[in-house]
Amino acid sequence: MGIFSKLSLALAAAALVGPAAARKPPISRPELQWGPKTPGHPFPHSPKRCRTCFVPSASGSSSGGEGNDDAPAILQAFKECNKGGSVVLDGNYTIASPLDLTFLEAVDVVITGTITFSADVDYWVEHSFKYTFQNSSTFWRFGGKDVNIYGGGLGVIDGNGQPWYDEFAKNPTLLRPILLVLDGLEGGSVTGLKMRNSPNWFNLITNSKDILVSDMDIKVRSTNANPAKNGDGWDTLTSDSVVIQNSHVDNSDDCVSFKPNSTNIVVQGMQCNGSHGISVGSLGQYPAEYDIVENVYVYNISMSNASDGARIKVWPGSDTPFQPGLSGGGGAGYVRNVTYEMFRNQNNDWAIEINQCYGQSNQTICNMYPSNMTISDVLFLDMSGTTSAKYDPKVGTLVCSSPEKCVNIAAHNITVTNPSGRTPQWICTNMDEALLDINCVSK
């Protein structure tokens, strides 16, 4: 091989694995905008990036492979292109070891290829990043300041969930990883990605603020009789000023869920199918904690084939063994200033559910140990569509522990119907019915 050929190969390799001004990312960062509802203040400006790191797959091409681990190369690229660069993942990659990317600053993550996590369940149970809240864990996590993750509708993050669904069917206490965690991120975005088959929740946004999520496509599907479980689209936890919008979610649990200490959250323009609704909670799970959810606006939602449409769920005032690996109750706190507006229902069991005894089916215990959580200043506005036949003629349930625990909860312009065409009925307990423009009945 001549000297010029060797030089050409060296230059090509350098462009692939390190900062390369000559090569640009395959797509540009999208214009990040939200609307029509806003979080109330502008998010920090994100400057253009000045250098690029392309990450090769472990096989040396774009083919990837289950026996490989691309995590070390990905980590190296972030170290090289941190503080002003773009990391490009445009091939097929396998992540087989945990990636802690919480040190980032002013970096773009361009995913136009496919990222898949290895199927070694036993390894990930031991080596994933752990969180105390509901025994959560994750394969990898992003944090720092000014991080934009985008895929232009091309990039795929695949949780390789089937082995987890199969094992969870045998072991319901299995610690299953979340597909993507933003942990301690101040200013950033996740846009234009396809997410497939997470072992557990798809996304957790925790300890973060000023985050925009937009134009996401989430789907989960089991290939056998072992169902995918707990596949929440997004959960927010101890986070402020988050916008989640214009996305499609086809999953197995909450479309979006606001966990403890979620404040100033906007969810809008969502299409959700097969979920458990857009939910406040669950809250009050841990007796030593004081949970709040405040200033939440849910707008322009299409919800189909779900257990619930708009949902607020808090634990009772005593310990409750709900499911293997999930129990709680006795915690205190409040839910305040929550609006659900322009919500379309199609074949949902309940159009609205307020439940102050989450996880406890024994009503006697619920009455003995009412929730320590207060729910106030909640508005359900302009809700339409038809529920499923499951509870027909009932279409919603608003049940509180006591009148003092549910204050100023209103429902206006609610035109939800049931399949039978009978007069829609709503279960209302300890509610101020003067604020509810619905047909309240007892259980």
Give the pLDDT score at 200.
98
Give the pLDDT score at 66.
53
Q: Is 276 a catalytic residue?
A: yes
- Cα separation, 97 vs 153, whole angstroms: 26
Give the pLDDT score at 9.
35
CATH superfamily of 254-443: Single-stranded right-handed beta-helix, Pectin lyase-like (2.160.20.10)
Within 8 A by CB and 6+ apart from 351, the residues are 309, 310, 343, 345, 383, 385, 387, 395, 396, 414, 416
In the predicted model, is pLDDT for residue 92 greater than 50?
yes
Each residue of 281-316: pLDDT tens digit? 999 999 999 999 999 999 999 999 999 999 999 999
- Cα separation, 274 vs 431, whole angstroms: 29
Give the pLDDT score at 10.
36
Let me know if the fold of 51-230 is the same as that of 254-443: yes
Give the pLDDT score at 324.
84
Q: Which of 3-7, 18-22, 180-184, 426-430 has the lowest mean pLDDT?
A: 3-7
Dihedral over Cα of 34, 40, 42, 44: its sign? negative
372 falls in which pLDDT band (50, 70, 90)? very high
Give the pLDDT score at 118.
97
- Cα separation, 138 vs 159, whole angstroms: 11
Backbone angles phi, psi at 272, to 5 degrees: -120, 140
Residue ranges covered by each domain of the chain:
51-230, 254-443
Q: What does CATH list as the number for 51-230? A: 2.160.20.10
Active-site position among 41, 127, 248, 276? 276
Query: 320-323 and 326-328 as β-strands: parallel, antiparallel, unpaired?
Result: antiparallel
In the predicted model, is pLDDT for residue 62 greater than 70?
no
Which pTM was predicted? 0.93
- Cα separation, 55 vs 114, whole angstroms: 12
Q: How much is the average pLDDT of 80-89?
A: 98
Each residue of 112-130: pLDDT tens digit? 999 999 999 999 999 999 9
- Cα separation, 208 vs 188, whole angstroms: 9
In the predicted model, is pLDDT for residue 76 greater than 60?
yes
Give the pLDDT score at 59.
54
175 falls in which pLDDT band (50, 70, 90)? very high
Give the pLDDT score at 22.
58
Backbone angles phi, psi at 6, to 5 degrees: -65, -40
Give the pLDDT score at 44.
93
CA distance to 150, 375, 397, per residue, from 408 (Å): 40, 8, 16
365 falls in which pLDDT band (50, 70, 90)? confident
Give the pLDDT score at 362.
78
Hunting for tokens 């798809």 — which residue is that? 202
